A and B are shown apart, each in its own frame.
Chain A
């Protein structure tokens, strides 16, 4: 039992982003020579915890200790100096330099920058960890596939011989062969007495690799189990905690005619997408990260041009080449990245709500302030946007209220079709159910709604029908009555495995 010494201990970790509590008193122990899996739904707080371990930011409360000594990470170099490495899910790779330089970036001095020595050292390391047949030391960063980029990121960590190493869904971009190599690498790390943390959604992987499993839910610590003492069903219960679909059970609205139809729509992101949405219908789109869901929404919204197929609105083919075309066709689009792509954070609620319909609130070029204020107030009341006034800067509102401001902007256009990409991401539970109520109401008013979501309970709860995407294609379609988490996941990983 010597290998059970605790290398890393996190206790009572709490972290808030504005009004949203991302972590509430989380506990985590990583033991030398063991693999501890960290599980939880999207938004459970796994990424935030990893960022704290990586030194990206300090927790509001709680303590970290390594080998029993308290540590305080001000930035990632502190974490590295303490022998802790977190492997990023989407690594930053320098395109213009070789794999060798990418691996030893920031550390080139340690090999006394001599290209021959650097390449030799890189080849030795690749061989030691079993990746010498997968990747060449001389290859340029720009030539690497997503899987190879992930391997470079893993190599960056292991060459520094850390004592603790955390993986964040490392297999999401890897093919079968690389996954086998990765698992061998993890076994090797384990044999060398390194403590491994492993975040993943994939049950099969976890049962294959992990010794212990820690589960988070809504930012809180649920529990830690030995793999031998638990099973699939118990873990799902721990992660979900409650049957979320009962929280936002919708009354399906009477369906009208088909208002949106995609026939074989394709471009560099999506391929041959056929899809229909009827008036009053809420259609969910599920899929893994990178399946092309957001890209499909942006294509419909006119931000990415289509290169094949056609988009029909109310039975008529529309040329949608830029966002103004889709707006004219009656399509509204709330993007996933609320702050980066939708909001003017330094402007008022009024300004933000009126952005798209400003023209109609103006006489010639002069904005009618009264009409604008009335519009903002109407939606503040209707959507219950909690703000002291229409003049408040949007940057000062909570995530849920910011999302409502985005909805207000599009509802003001009286859209026939509304595209909502991750509408409840980063929003607290109360505001979530309000957003669901708004979606339900819109459907009853005859709006055709598409909801993209990574939270399966959300997709299941809110949709009348669900499309599942994988690798840029629609991999399946499920009516609400036949949909389940298992069936959606099976379809989502369908082509992921084949690719």
Chain B
């Protein structure tokens, strides 16, 4: 039995015994170092890095403009907003749920940040007000799910529509306010710190924070536990409801930050344009990055790599003059492919509607 359990472990050097002739010592070491690298970085992440390299190479050869600094900045800033949503989406997915409403929350926050800024002339008030709205939206999502016993997909599909409607109502469906002259919003949109665009710094900050919380804290470990087995978590004394509502509130807050960035980039509050469809990209990135839609599995690093891959792809298709409509097809196809790969790996039987 001992041997049987050992076989399952890829880290043990015993694996190298499959070689027919006795391996030399250096062979064994090389193999195990290689294996160690693979297990630390993860197969998923290595495939993503390879995919990015291939896509970059193909686009770079076809269009040398790809490697110019302005274009890389375009990619970076485009990534920042999707990236924020993808990072929090990853946390929601690890918890075993889904938040489709993130794009609408971002739109609502974009409008409110600009409107509060215009009426108070305070950027701080605009930002705080928008984040508060985002947290409230998350609280609504969490409460519908926990206390209304509504499936997360349905609950946030409903609020996707409702939050979008609220944003349109308060803005009358038009862009609101003008933030293009405010130094703080300008700094967010075009400023740099140590030569790095602020937008990217915001994403890095949120991603690092999320990574640390997931990896090194009791909160993160309990999120994995709830997503992995909610009955075991409940019997283990974890207050599951608190985690669900808390994660949705954090997601709302980060979606609001994404909305504020949209306002900063466009110079005014946008109820819909700039945020619509972001939920699809966020979910695609999380799934491509290895977050299991069943919950309990996933990591921020994979999601960030997937966000970069998606950003490079979108940018490349634009540079190569691919019709925008095709880009939507590619987007949808990628999400399906990512999930199909995940499901095939789990070896589920092909009967009925997957759980």
Closest-by-CB residue of A relative to B295 is A346
Answer whether residue B36 sits at the interface, using C-beta atoms and an 8 A cutoff. no
Q: Residues of B contacting A347 with CB < 8 Å?
A: 224-225, 228, 296
Q: Residues of A contacting B224 with CB < 8 Å?
A: 344, 347, 351
Q: Residues of B contacting A359 with CB < 8 Å?
A: 218
Stretch of A63-71, A239-247, A279-287, A391-399 that contacts chain B: A391-399
Q: Residues of B contacting A342 with CB < 8 Å?
A: 229, 232, 235
Q: How far is the CA of A351 from the CA of B216 in the complex (A)?
A: 12
Q: Which of A68-103 contact B (CB under 8 A)?
A: none
Q: Residues of A contacting B26 with CB < 8 Å?
A: none
Stretch of B5-13, B102-110, B168-176, B311-319 that contacts chain A: B5-13
- The residue from B218, B228, B292 contacting A367, defined by CB atoms under 8 A apart: B218
Answer whether residue A467 sits at the interface, using C-beta atoms and an 8 A cutoff. no
Given contacts A355-B225, A398-B1, contact A323 B218 (CB under 8 A): no
Answer whether residue A118 sits at the interface, using C-beta atoms and an 8 A cutoff. no
Q: How far is the CA of A80 from the CA of B12 in the complex (A)?
A: 47
Q: How far is the CA of A139 from the CA of B175 in the complex (A)?
A: 59
What's the least CB distance linking A94 to chain B, in Å? Answer: 15
Q: How far is the CA of A389 from the CA of B9 in the complex (A)?
A: 9
Q: How far is the CA of A333 from the CA of B234 in the complex (A)?
A: 12
Q: Residues of B contacting A333 with CB < 8 Å?
A: 235
Q: Residues of B contacting A462 with CB < 8 Å?
A: none
- The residue from A327, A335, A362, A397 contacting B5, defined by CB atoms under 8 A apart: A397
Asked if residues A387 and B216 are in contact (CB atoms below 8 Å), the reply is no
Q: How far is the CA of A367 from the CA of B5 in the complex (A)?
A: 28
Asked if residues A365 and B219 are in contact (CB atoms below 8 Å), the reply is yes
Q: Residues of B contacting A430 with CB < 8 Å?
A: 1
Asked if residues A324 and B228 are in contact (CB atoms below 8 Å), the reply is no
Q: Residues of A contacting B233 with CB < 8 Å?
A: 355
Instruction: Type the 1/0 row for B234-249, where 1 means its CB is closer than 8 Å to any CB of A.
Output: 1111110000000000
Closest-by-CB residue of A relative to B229 is A344
Instruction: Type the 1/0 row for A327-363, where 1 means its CB is closer than 8 Å to any CB of B.
Output: 1000001010000111111110001000110110010
Q: How many residues of chain A have a CB within 8 Å of chain B?
A: 38
Q: Residues of A contacting B238 with CB < 8 Å?
A: 324
Asked if residues B232 and A358 are in contact (CB atoms below 8 Å), the reply is no
Asked if residues B218 and A341 are in contact (CB atoms below 8 Å), the reply is no
Instruction: Type the 1/0 row for A356-392, where 1 means its CB is closer than 8 Å to any CB of B.
Output: 1011001001110000000000000000001111011
Q: How far is the CA of A169 from the CA of B36 in the complex (A)?
A: 52
Q: How far is the CA of A342 from the CA of B296 in the complex (A)?
A: 14
Interface footprint category on B: 20 to 34
Given contacts A347-B296, A388-B9, A388-B12, contact A335 B1 (CB under 8 A): no
Q: How far is the CA of A345 from the CA of B227 in the complex (A)?
A: 11
Answer whether residue B164 sits at the interface, using C-beta atoms and an 8 A cutoff. no
Answer whether residue B333 sits at the interface, using C-beta atoms and an 8 A cutoff. no
Q: Residues of B contacting A397 with CB < 8 Å?
A: 5
Answer whether residue A301 sits at the interface, using C-beta atoms and an 8 A cutoff. yes
Q: Which of B190-223 contact A (CB under 8 A)?
A: 216-219, 221-222
Q: How far is the CA of A109 from the CA of B224 in the complex (A)?
A: 47
Q: How far is the CA of A358 from the CA of B222 in the complex (A)?
A: 9
Interface, chain B (partner A; CB < 8 A):
1-2, 4-6, 8-9, 11-12, 216-219, 221-222, 224-225, 228-229, 231-239, 292, 296-297
The 28 listed contacts between A and B (C-beta, < 8 Å) are A19-B4, A301-B235, A303-B234, A322-B239, A323-B236, A333-B235, A341-B229, A341-B231, A341-B232, A341-B235, A342-B235, A344-B225, A344-B229, A346-B228, A346-B297, A351-B224, A351-B225, A355-B225, A355-B232, A355-B236, A358-B218, A358-B222, A366-B217, A367-B216, A367-B218, A391-B11, A396-B5, A398-B4
